[in-house]
Structures are given as structure tokens and as C-alpha cells.
Structure 1
Amino acid sequence: MNYHILGRSTLEVSAIGFGCMSLGEDYAVNERLIHLAIASGINLFDTADIYQQGRNEIALGKAIAAAGKRQEVLIATKVGNQPRADGNGWDWNPRKEYILGAVEESLQRLQTDYIDLYQLHGGTIDDPIDETIEAFELLQQQGKIRYYGISSIRPNVIREYAQRSAIASVMMQYSLLDRRPEESCMPLLRQSNIGVLARGSVAKGLLIDKPAAPYLNYTAAEVSQAAREVHALTSHLRGATQVALRFVLQQPAITSAIVGIRTTEQLEEAIKTIDAPILSDAELDILRQSLPVHQYDQHR
């Protein structure tokens, strides 16, 4: 496994991160999968307080506790979506008071006394951003979190946090089928020494093995064309998963690709990326030229 320092932090994260959102409801199955991931060198596990109404954090916490590996792994979770009292959905709440209360519940579910990376799970330009930053920095001072970041695809929100806070990272969607971050977000984050955690790198499986379907502003035909180019670059040493993930990891701004993992096969395919042949400049150009590049049309 390869490891990289995450932005301004001291966190040394694995190039492949484990996206826990895809985990099922069987705790025993989840525990075996997480233990196998740790044994394979993955040390970054990403979850959120709203995944499965908190059960996702519980599953991760149980598995790490059972492995006795808390000091060897990095837990990333998220906050900001407040569950409604009637259990029917949630409301956006980036207020300090809410964050300071929500972290206590996440710590309990995760069976830990600190979170390595606490991320704001979204954000708008109209949020009380200074108040949100104040909450995260207080939690740092209290030792309840080591670093904080945001999960956002909104350029205007990302700019504000890059300028006004000490965020270590931004999690954003990025793949061959979503290159919108290349326009302004990635150059800004790289210049600011803020790490990028990429999610959605295989585009819901459309680049690998799922039937072509419309994705973002791309038609099914365009998605099919991109998938064909991915598969054309496969070999006995490098499958479609590895090509799709290599495209992401070879983007200089990316620190780690957070891959949604639900099965042993998915885990093995993700890990194979580390030893797979890198994409040459010519191969990268083939992939880049397979689709027109779109830009964010909102929240600029």
C-alpha cells in the first residue's frame, strides 16, 4: 500500500480508503471485511453519522475495537445533517451547538475518544461558516478530533473554507465521468496544501461493469464511450477497476480514493490498483479525450 500525508495534517493515509457507506447490515460480515482491509494496508475508513441512521458508525467502531487496531487506523466521519425527531429524513444544521453535541454521539458509536478527521457533511455559502469553524477548532483543542475538513462539491463553499479555516482536506466526487473539480477546485486546493479525498471514482460502477446509463450531464451513449476506453486499456495486469482508479490517483491533487466497499471481491479489486501498472501520459490523454469536460454550473 502507498501512503500520503493528508494536506496540512500529520495524517499518513492509504492511497485507497475504505468507504463504509456501502456496508450492509450484517455486523459479522462487515467485521471480516474491515479486518481484511486493515491487513491489506488500508488505514483510512470513512463513514458518517447519518449512514444507516448511525449503524454504519457502530459497525465500524465494533470492527476496529474487535481488531484491537485503533492506533493503526484513521477514522473519518461527518456531521451536519440533523435527523428529524419523527425519523423522517434530516435537516441541514452547521451550527456550533449542534456539532458539539453530535460529536459526542459519534464518539460513542465509534467506541473511541477521538476522531482523526471530522468533516462537515456538505455546506452552503449562506451557512454561519465562522461559527462552524469555531466548533471544529474547539473540538481540536479539546482533543476530541485531530483534524477537520469538509465534504463538498461547491466551489464557492470550498473557497471560503480554504481561505478562512485550517481544513486538512476536502472530499469531493471525482472520476472520468466527473472532472468538474479540475477547473478551479483542484488547483486551489493543491496550491493551499489541502488534501483531496476522491469519492465516486468508478461512477457507480458505470466505468466498470454496470450497463450504460445517463450520468450527470452525460448521455448513456457518452457513458458507454468512456467505459469502452477504460476497458480498452485493460490487460492481464490491470482490469477496469484499476484503470478507473489509476485515472483518479494520478491526478496530482488527489491524496486518496475513497472506494465504496461491500464485498471481498470489491476490496481485492481496489487493492490491486496499488500494484497495477500506472497509466502512461498517452493513455491518460485517451481517457481525457473520450468525453467533453463539463464545469460546475451552480455554486460557482
Structure 2
Amino acid sequence: MKYKQLGKSDLRISTIGFGCMSLKADQKENERIIHEAVELGINFFDTADLYDKGMKEISVGKALQQKRQQVIIATKVGNQWRKDGSGWDWNPRKDYILTCVDQSLQRLQTDYIDLYQLHGGTINDPIEETIDAFETLQQQGKIRYYGISSIRPNVISKYVSLSNIVSVMMQYSLLDRRPEETCLPLLEEHNISVLVRGSVASGLLVNKPAKGYLNYNEDEVQKAAIAIQQLSTSNRSAAQTAIQFVLSNPAVTSAVVGIRTSEQLKEAVEAVSATQLTESQKEALANSIERNYYSDHRE
């Protein structure tokens, strides 16, 4: 496993992160695969209070309680479940964040959260109030660092200019290269780590039948999947090729992968040591379909 510095923080995280949203309801099985991940070198575990109404945090907390000093735990805040359980509403207010962190700490069975992330955000949010909440929690020692999870260029640039975020989690893959236009260069310039989700585009680049995705039609998705397959070998699977494509961008620190099985775990971990994509291979992938761009949230 390889490790990289998380932005301006003193945390070094594994280049493959464990996305805990995919964990099952079976606690024994969750503990087994999480412990296996730690043994294989993964030290970054990402969850959210939204996932399964906090149950994923509880599961992660139980699994990592005896390994707390070995790992870096990230979770997210900002989505408030309605009392009737019918869905959730966006709430980036300071008082809500200050309340939620204590609940997450309790569920995770820890005294501090390594990386606390805003789980979304709009340009119309009270952004300075939200930042103040995270700064307050940092001063209190409840969180070590904070970041955001967002794909909106205007929101990202606002936090870059106003806050001390160390990371941005965003969707990025061969089928979603929208971040390349402005977000990735901006974050790299400011030494803010990019945490990638969706590197295999919901499986469309690996093993799912082609269908429309974002602005791409079925034929274009098929072209991208074929390009991935053509560069896959006995020493590098399609999933590993897709993961390497996003990790090759210098702005990217870690690919956070949803993992359910030992096979998926090993394949993701081995993407780091598998035969690396050459510059010409990366260029071939990039040229397989026309690059897409963000059409909204630009200003």
C-alpha cells in the first residue's frame, strides 16, 4: 500500500480508502472485512451519519474500536433526517453541526474524528457560519481536520478561499472528468487533497451493461468501457485500470472504494501494486470519449 499526505494536515492516508456506505447489516461480517482491510494496509475509512441513519457509523466504530490508533476515520454531516423517517433535508447550520458531532462521536466510539466533512452544500448556504462550526470543533479537539464532499465548482472555490479545508471528496472517473476543468487544478494549487468516489462509474467501466450516464449515451459509455478493457491485462484488471486512471491525476490523494467482499477488497488494494498505466495508455483512455464539463454551479 502507498500513503499520501492529506492536504496540509499531518495525516498520511492510504491511496485506497474504504468506503463504508457499502457495508452490510451483518456486524460480524463487517468486522471481518474491515480488519482484513487494515491488515492489507488500508488506514482510511470513510462513512457518514446519513448512511443507514447512523448504523454504518455504529458498525465502523465497533469494528475499529481496538484499532483506533492505527486508522484514520472520516465521517460527514449536513443531512438531517425528518422525524417521520421519510427522507432528509439539508442543514448546514452551526448549531446542527455542533449537535451532530457528539452523536457521531458516540456512534463511532471515539473521542475525536480525524476528518469531518460537510456532506454536500450549495452556494446559498451560510458558508461562513458552517466554516465557523468546523473551526470551533477543531479548537475543541472533537475533530482533527475538516473538508467537504462536493461536486459544485462554485461551492468548492468558496471553501478554498474562505476556509482551512484539507480535502474535497468528489466523483471522478473516465466517465466523469468534469473536475479536470477547474476543480482539480485549483485544489492541487492550494494543496487540498482530492478524495475520489465513483472511480468505476457504478460498475459501468467494469462489469455492468452499458447505459446512459451523465451526458453520455449508451454507445459512448460502451466506448469508455471497451477502452478500459483493452488496457486491462493479466496483471491489471478492468477495475484496477479504472482506479489507476483517477489515481494518476496529481491532485488525487486517495480513491475511496465501496467494498463488500474480500475479492473486491483485494482487487482494490492490488490496484496500487499492479502494472502502472503508461502516459500513452492514460492518453488513450482520455481520448476514448470526449471529455465532459460541469454545466451547472459554475459561478
Report the TM-score, using the length of structure 1 for normalisation.
0.99
Please name the residue that 2:45 is paired with: 45
Alignment of 1:72-151 (within 5 A): 72-151=70-149
Runs of 4+ that moved beyond 2 A: none
Cα shift at 1:263: 1.1
Deviations 1:40-72 (A, max 9, x none): 00000000001011100011001001xx11011
What value does the CA root-mean-square deviation take over the aligned residues? Answer: 0.6
Alignment of 1:1-300 (within 5 A): 1-65=1-65, 68-300=66-298
Deviations 1:241-275 (A, max 9, x none): 11000001001100000001111111011011011
**CA distance in 2 between partners of 1:192 and 1:31 (Å):** 37
Letter in 1 for 2:154: N
Letter in 2 for 1:31: E
SS in 1 for 2:232: coil
**CA distance in 2 between partners of 1:250 and 1:277 (Å):** 13
Letter in 1 for 2:202: K
**CA distance in 1 between partners of 2:263 and 2:282 (Å):** 26
**CA distance in 2 between partners of 1:227 and 1:218 (Å):** 12
Cα shift at 1:235: 1.1
Letter in 2 for 1:30: N
Cα shift at 1:8: 1.0
Cα shift at 1:213: 1.1
**CA distance in 2 between partners of 1:242 and 1:168 (Å):** 26
Unpaired runs of at least 5, structure 2 = none
SS in 1 for 2:283: helix
**CA distance in 2 between partners of 1:278 and 1:37 (Å):** 22
Cα shift at 1:228: 0.6
**CA distance in 2 between partners of 1:57 and 1:284 (Å):** 36
Report the TM-score, using the length of structure 2 for normalisation.
0.99
Cα shift at 1:236: 1.2
**CA distance in 2 between partners of 1:144 and 1:88 (Å):** 30
**CA distance in 2 between partners of 1:22 and 1:212 (Å):** 22
SS in 1 for 2:131: helix
SS in 2 for 1:69: helix
SS in 2 for 1:100: helix
SS in 2 for 1:175: coil
Letter in 2 for 1:61: G
Letter in 1 for 2:278: S
**CA distance in 2 between partners of 1:270 and 1:196 (Å):** 18
Taking only the aligned residue pairs, the percentage that are identical comes to 63
**CA distance in 2 between partners of 1:11 and 1:196 (Å):** 14
Unpaired runs of at least 5, structure 1 = none
**CA distance in 2 between partners of 1:144 and 1:209 (Å):** 41
